[in-house]
Amino acid sequence: MEEPAPQPPEPEPATRPVRYSPGDGDDQDDSDLSDASMEEEDAEESEDEEEHTLAFKSPEDQVEIVAQMRSLEHAVPRLSDDYRLVDRLGTGTFSTVFKAVDLHHYNKWENALWDSAVPSASSSKGKVYVALKRIYVTSAPERIRNEITILETCRNARHVSKLVTAFRERDQIVLVLPYQRNDDFRDYYRVLSMDGIKAYFRCLLRALRDIHARGIIHRDVKPANFLYDPRTGDGTLCDFGLACHIERPGVHGQCLHTPAIKQYPHGRIRKHEELDSQSIRYKQREARQRQDARSDTVGYLEKDPRHVYICMLLLRCGLTPVRRPHSRANRAGTRGFRAPEVLLKCGDQTGAIDVWSAGMILAFFLACKFPLFNSNDDVEALMEIASIIGRKKMEKVATLHNRTFSTNIPTLDSDGMTWTNFMRKLNPDMDTPREPDTRYYPYYTSRATPPPSSSPTSSSSRSSPAAPSPPSRSAWERDVTNALSLLEQLLEPESIKRMTPAKALAHPFLAIPGTSDDNEVPHPVGEGRCGKWHFVDEETGELMIRVRPRSEEELRVYECPQVKGTVIRRIEAGDPDGVAIGPLPCRIHQDEPEFRVIDLDEDD
């Protein structure tokens, strides 16, 4: 029997606690306060704001949220021993996410495996906030297992939400994740500076690069699933509920391109001898003939009397009516963000579908419109894209995935337009520099500091006292040109030609002079300079490393048969010491002679 929902109490007012000032009672002028004390005061104010965000919501929302928080505390009694719920962060089809204070961050938990990957603005012991994700009981167990497994796999990926822990109470599943401060996308996408937009996409594309390298497709990249703090320019990719593993070569459909492989992360066109060219040309010709027919003769209802009559005639003649084979493909995603290959039910989907979604977000920034597409089904979504790229290009995309695209809509242009022209039509003032908004990055802070997310709470730096000046028109136009160039490659309709996250980070719009993302990328297990000494145990799934033995006895008992003179040890998933970064070995192997990096600038 379902238990009645508890009656929520009236929400408490957001009162600010009285703070003790170290200077009270001393013969000291206010002007003598140090920068440290001012920053400490800002940190306390930030803590107050974070803890009392519920009080700024409408009374109706407060009652609903308090009821949901009490319901969770009642369903999972032990939750209150370790966490104090303070607000609701969001709700979706499969879960609700709450903000909570971690009551024992400093004296009970071992946080090194996830806290090291989260930027901290201060070493002071302030309040630490986490996100508690309550997964609904209607979610399939396999879906829950898949999300937790993928979060474990992506533990060392940059700008990706880390899994702190997870626990079950009867039929209740709760995931504990770091809290990332963020604003609603609608509040800043029209006014964010070019530097802020660049910071947004550097974070997002780094996250995509790292999860794709680990064989993961997010499948639901959108502003709501990328928690971006426009004050600091730091973002985190979250919600892996729809994520999946990239299928390995050999498990694919009938597309004309290959699955993802290391050399071609988005696949490549199959060799000529692998294709049935004659059949492809016949299907294309048949599709073009159909689009010239009258609308009342193109297709018919499945239960149309004419269709039933034809099937009966075939059966009487001893023939079996042939039905079109059903295409099985993962179509998960959000309306308006799904790539053409998803809409065409491609069976060999790659990380390119996430890149398309990232391109759509960039289009929102450039067009100053959100959302751009609002279709009701897959057919309408295809027509929305075709109305921009044109019929010919859409036919080519369909052929790549062994499909045909046929329409007799007379207004559909054959050649379409470029995404650049489409953006300029939507936003004629694109070349006009935006006025600096001191609420947001980079004008909000005088020096770069990360937000108080999943780490001791502290504030960002104070706003610069000098009023910022807008960028020069030439610099702005150069950024717009580069952004449009990047957009064209992110929204390339053919998935095999779509830019990869690694190449996007090296694009002139996002590249940082004098640095390369290749030098900062954390490698997956088995890759990087010392990759051959890292592996996953096939039986237990645990991460293992090969290291030099501490003693002869250890070598005798645990010697690795593949590499003589080494032993095998287990390592925690997410241990930062066991991750190879860029061209360097991991810290565990940095002193091994096999992986020592020779500095060419050293004196002989």
* Number of Cβ atoms within 10 Å of the Cβ of 567: 19
Cα-trace Rg, the chain: 28
Rounded CA-CA distance 253/273 in Å is 17
Give the DSSP letter string of 120-185: -S--S----EEEEEEE-TTS-HHHHHHHHHHHHHTTTSTTB----EEEEETTEEEEEEE------H
Rounded CA-CA distance 543/161 in Å is 20
> b vs e for 168-196, b when ≥16 Cβ sit within 10 Å of the residue's Cβ?
eeeeebbbbbbbbbbeebeebbeebbbeb
**Per-residue H/E/C for 317-372:** CCCCCCCCCCCCCCCCCCCCCCCHHHHCCCCCCCCHHHHHHHHHHHHHHHHCCCCC
Structure tokens at 199: 């910071």
Asked if 220 is an active-site residue, the reply is yes
Give the DSSP letter string of 524-561: PTT-STTGGGEEE-TTT--EEEEE--SSHHHHHHHB-S
- Consecutive H or E run containing 97: strand 95-102
CB-CB contact of 163 with 155 (8 Å): yes
Start-to-end Cα distance in the chain: 79
Nearest CA-CA partner of 544 in 575, 514, 512: 575
Rounded CA-CA distance 588/577 in Å is 6
Q: Would you say how long the chain is, in residues?
A: 604
Residue appearing with tokens 């004390």: 37
CB-CB contact of 175 with 135 (8 Å): yes
CB-CB contact of 200 with 413 (8 Å): no
Rounded CA-CA distance 146/278 in Å is 41
- Consecutive H or E run containing 213: helix 194-213
Rounded CA-CA distance 163/150 in Å is 10
Rounded CA-CA distance 403/399 in Å is 5
Longest dimension (CA), the chain: 108
Rounded CA-CA distance 569/567 in Å is 7
DSSP state of 205: H
Catalytic residue (one of 87, 115, 210, 220): 220
Mind telling me the catalytic residues?
Answer: 220
